């Protein structure tokens, strides 16, 4: 399996092309960058350097979108007190399901809508988005595969989801290396995965 630096170099090469070469289809301009959860802080440092290099060398702007921030802003918008009360009365799993429903329900502001708002002013030929801090959805608030599915055919801006976890086989990933109990097992992506091995 390639190292973090080797995988980032591969991603950088693909982002330097116009159009970028991270995806096979323009209606799904997404890729997943898998990394070990223990590499989180090293990854953050490398991503900032990658963004600087792309801006300097090929005028491609990288826009960071924190999934943890989206989760937190959603919790604040719809009432932290309600969320805390749910956890106190019905337990952590119920509170987690409640926040997941807020992040996925059309009755509220789903996570993909928050992302689309941030992408609206971007130029697909000059900009790209990095979805970072996916740990904000752990352990099972919202599946990142569901999030990418909800973005299909809704943007042409290239998106790279930075995924802390483990490659199971093929394109199946295990979020944060969590056990498969309770539906937290591996799930499959239909996009290119960097850091996934040969």
pLDDT of 186 reads: 45
| Averaged pLDDT, 38-54 | 96
Cβ atoms within 10 Å of 40's Cβ, excluding its own: 15
* Total number of residues shown for the chain: 198
Chain segment 135-194, per-residue pLDDT in tens: 998 888 888 888 998 999 999 999 999 999 887 766 677 777 776 544 444 445 678 889
The answer for residues whose C-beta is within 8 angstroms of residue 36's C-beta and 6 or more apart is: 4, 164, 166
Statement: residue 83 has pLDDT above 90: no
Q: How confident is the model at residue 86 (pLDDT cuts 50, 70, 90)?
A: confident
Statement: residue 118 has pLDDT above 70: yes
Q: How far is CA 154 from the centre of its chain?
A: 16
Q: How far apart are CA 160 and CA 78, in angstroms?
A: 28
Task: Give 24 or 137, the one with higher predicted confidence.
Answer: 137
Average pLDDT taken over every residue of the chain: 87
**Token pair for residue 43?**
């990854």
Contact 136, 102 (CB under 8 A): no
Task: Give 86 or 175, the one with higher predicted confidence.
Answer: 86
Statement: residue 93 has pLDDT above 50: yes
Contact 43, 4 (CB under 8 A): yes
pLDDT of 179 reads: 63
Please classify residue 31 by burial: count the beta carbons closer than 10 Å to its beta carbon, then call 0-12 exposed, 13-18 middle and 19+ buried: buried
Q: How far apart are CA 14 and CA 98, in angstroms?
A: 38
């Amino acid at each position: 399996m390639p190292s973090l630096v080797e995988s980032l170099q591969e991603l950088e090469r693909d982002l330097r092309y116009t159009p970028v070469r991270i995806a096979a289809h323009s209606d799904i301009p997404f890729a997943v960058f898998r990394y070990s959860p223990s590499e989180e802080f090293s990854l953050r440092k490398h991503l900032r350097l990658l963004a600087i290099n792309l801006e300097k060398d090929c005028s491609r702007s990288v826009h960071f979108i924190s999934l943890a921030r989206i989760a937190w802003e959603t919790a604040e918008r719809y009432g932290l007190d309600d969320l805390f009360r749910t956890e106190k009365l019905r337990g952590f799993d119920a509170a987690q399901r409640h926040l997941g429903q807020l992040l996925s329900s059309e009755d509220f502001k789903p996570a993909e809508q928050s992302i689309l708002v941030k992408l609206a002013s971007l130029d697909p030929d000059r900009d790209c988005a990095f979805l970072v801090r996916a740990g904000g959805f752990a352990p099972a608030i919202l599946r990142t595969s569901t999030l990418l599915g909800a973005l299909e055919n809704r943007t042409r801006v290239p998106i790279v989801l930075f995924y802390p976890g483990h490659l199971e086989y093929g394109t199946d990933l295990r979020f944060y290396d969590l056990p498969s109990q309770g539906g937290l097992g591996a799930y499959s992506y239909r996009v290119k995965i960097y850091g996934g091995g040969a």
